[in-house]
Amino acid sequence: MNDLQRQLAEIRKKTKRYPGNQDYLSRRQEFAKSIGYPDLFRFIDQFGLYAGTQTLATRLMAYEVVKQSVSVPGHIMEFGVWDGSNLMFMAKLLELLQPATCKQVFGFDNFAGLPAPHALDGVDAKSMVGHYKGNEEVLRKAIDLYDMDDFVQLVVGDALETIPAFEKEFPEAMVSLAWIDFDLYEPCKVALDFLAQRLSVGGIIVFDEAISSAWPGETVAMREFLESSGGKYRMEANVLGRQPSLYLVRES
C-alpha cells in the first residue's frame, strides 16, 4: 500500500457515516445498548415501514423549511427540543443540503419538562407541568455518535433566562430558521422577542402548535409578535399534516 492509499484508507476509517463503515456500525450498536434499546437500529433502518403518516408529514415539513432556509444567512434554532428528534433531523438535513455550511444548530430546552403556565395558557396547561421532559444525556450521546459536537449546540435551562443571556453573549448571531415548540406563552414570547431582532430577511419561523385550542398561549404570543412586526411576515399553512401548524416567512 502506497502513501496515497494509506491516506485514503485513514480518511475512510475516520468517516463515521461512510456507507458500510464498520467502526460507525459498531459505535451505533454501542450507543443503542447504552440507552437500553439494543434492537434500536433494526427499527430505525426500517423507518419507512414503522413510521406513521403524521410522523412522515412532520419530517417532510422539516425538510421543506430547511431547504428553503439554506440560502438565508443565519443559524437554525429550535425552541423546545424535548428528546431532540426534530433538532437532529434538521441538523442532518442541513449537513446533507449544505455540507460546507458555517451554520450551527442550536436547541433550547430545560430538559425538566413544561414549567408552570401563564394565565394565557388556559386551565388545561396546569395539568401538563413536567410533561415533555427530554433526556439530555441520550441526546448528547446521539450528537457524539454522529460527530456533531461542534455543529449542534444545546442551550440548557429556563428559556426566560437562557435566551436573553444567549442574545447578550452572541451579538453577532443571526437566524435563518426557528422552530417554536415551547407550547407556553411566556417562553414563546421571549423566543419571538429575540427573533424579532435576529431573523434574517427570508428567514422562517415554524410554529408547532399555534392556532391549536390545546395550547392557546403559543397562539397569543404569535399574534402579539405579528401585531408588532409591521407586516414583515407572510403566513403559510402546513399542507402536509397537523404539526407543525403553520410558519411565517420574513419578507422585509
pLDDT tens digits, 223-235: 999 999 999 999 9
Of 242, 243, 103, 80, nearest in space to 177 by CA: 103
Q: What is the mean pLDDT of the chain?
A: 91
Q: Per residue in 17-35, pLDDT tens?
A: 444 577 888 899 999 999 9
SS3 state at 112: coil
**DSSP E strands: which ranges in the chain?**
75-79, 105-109, 152-156, 175-180, 199-207, 233-237, 246-250
Question: Which stretches of 116-200 are DSSP H helices?
Answer: 136-145, 159-169, 185-198
* Domains in the chain: boundaries: 1-50, 53-250
pLDDT over 50 (residue 236) = yes
pLDDT reported for residue 235: 96
CA distance 137 to 162: 19
Please, which residues have CB within 8 angstroms of residue 14's CB and are 6 or more apart in sequence?
none
pLDDT of 246 above 80: yes
**Residue 167 amino acid letter:** E
Q: Give residue 20's pLDDT.
A: 52
Q: How confident is the model at residue 16 (pLDDT cuts 50, 70, 90)?
A: very low
Amino acid found at 73: P
pTM: 0.89
The pLDDT of residue 120 is above 50: yes
The pLDDT tens digits for 180-218 are 999 999 999 999 999 999 999 999 999 999 998 889 999
| Beta pairing, strands 233-237 & 246-250 | antiparallel
pLDDT in tens, 126-163: 888 888 899 999 999 999 999 999 899 999 999 999 99
Q: What is the CATH number of domain 53-250?
A: 3.40.50.150
| Per-residue pLDDT band at 113 (split at 50, 70, 90) | very high
